[in-house]
Amino acid sequence: MCVIFFAGSLQAAESDEADLSVKLAPDRVVKYQWTTVTSSETNGREAEGPFTFKADLNIGMTAILKGLPAKGPGTRVAFRIENYGYIDRKSLGKDVGEVQAMKGKIKVLQNGKTVVDSDNDIGLDEIKVIQQTLKSIEAGQMDVSLDSSGKALDEAAGEPSVVDTIRATGVEGMLRIVPGRTMRLGGVWEDSQSIPMLATFKLAKPVTVRSTSTFAGWETKDGKRLARIDIKTVWDPNDLKGDNGQGMLVEVSRVQGLGAGTCLFDPESGHFIEGAIEATSRYRIEGKKEGQNMMLDVIGKNKFTFKQIP
């Protein structure tokens, strides 16, 4: 009886722990169906009166991670992108513009009227930059070495458009949610990341985003026992300074940012299976534009979802 009780207690204790570390053996490939949705609403005032500018961007793609032979400490990973497409919609008052770039086809609409259509050879001279960017995103890759918590150990190498896309869509940030060590059920860990830009303004000092993650429980999917990780984020509420690269200097104040999400991680294979994270931010931009005082109140929303696919 005592032996049986002891063995049962030991098994229960072991099940309360999980190795939450990033692992990707050389030549091992993991694919995700990835979606990133961002939106912002900017309210301001010009000489003509108040205005509202809205921007919505919906990106879909297949994110591919492949293990590479190590060049030193950590896990070497190659990131590639396939099936990249997006819908970019912007509006200022009654004027609405939309760019659709899906499966190599590009369409541009202005107030509902088609002004570019790659299928019908309309306005193709105006979209050469978009076409070249789409090609470079799917043709190139990004290589980087990661520690067990998914943090980069060296500078990412590769096609700049791929590096920018991997970072902007949250793929690289997803990997660093784990603590890189064995955790007990209910265990909590913290991390922080920096945002170097807000809107079109490069910040003199980046915004610091702090995260608190919890090993919240177990879920079983497709016969695998997966660790559920709950994450919450908050921005440091510091006043900031920005520069748009064209001589416009601004003050950024009333900074607020909150986020939350849940991800499922496979401790055995060492990678995520699926997840979703949402965040909302608010801030005020004040400066001068063409000799006039400018004040903008910005609300931003971001969401990314991913799921492993064969």
Specify the pLDDT at position 85: 96
- The partner residues of 143 in beta bridges, in order of sequence, read 78, 157
Q: Where are the domains of the chain?
A: 180-310
- Tens of pLDDT, residue by residue over 22-54, are 999 999 999 999 999 999 999 998 767 899 999
Specify the pLDDT at position 210: 96
| Exposure letters 55-84 (e unless 16+ CB within 10 A, then b) | bbbbbbbebbbbbbeeeeebbbbbbbbeeb
Kindly report the pTM of this predicted structure.
0.89
Distance CA 130, CA 106 (A): 8
- Tens of pLDDT, residue by residue over 126-138, are 677 888 889 999 9
Is the CB of residue 18 less than 8 Å from the CB of residue 179? no
Which of 156, 154, 187, 193 is closest to 174 using CA atoms? 193
Residue type, 74: G
- Tens of pLDDT, residue by residue over 213-249, are 999 999 999 999 999 999 999 999 999 999 987 778 9
CA distances 134 to 10, 27, 164, 306, Å, are: 54, 26, 13, 21
Task: Give me the mean pLDDT over the 8-24 stretch.
Answer: 72
- CB pairs under 8 A, 24+ apart, for 105-113? 106/130, 106/131, 106/134
Which of 259, 294, 288, 275 is closest to 38 using CA atoms? 259
- The partner residues of 233 in beta bridges, in order of sequence, read 211, 259
Q: Report the chain's mean pLDDT, rounded to a whole number.
A: 90
Specify the pLDDT at position 123: 66
Burial of 238 (0-12, 13-18, 19+ CB in 10 A): exposed
Is the CB of residue 116 less than 8 Å from the CB of residue 133? no
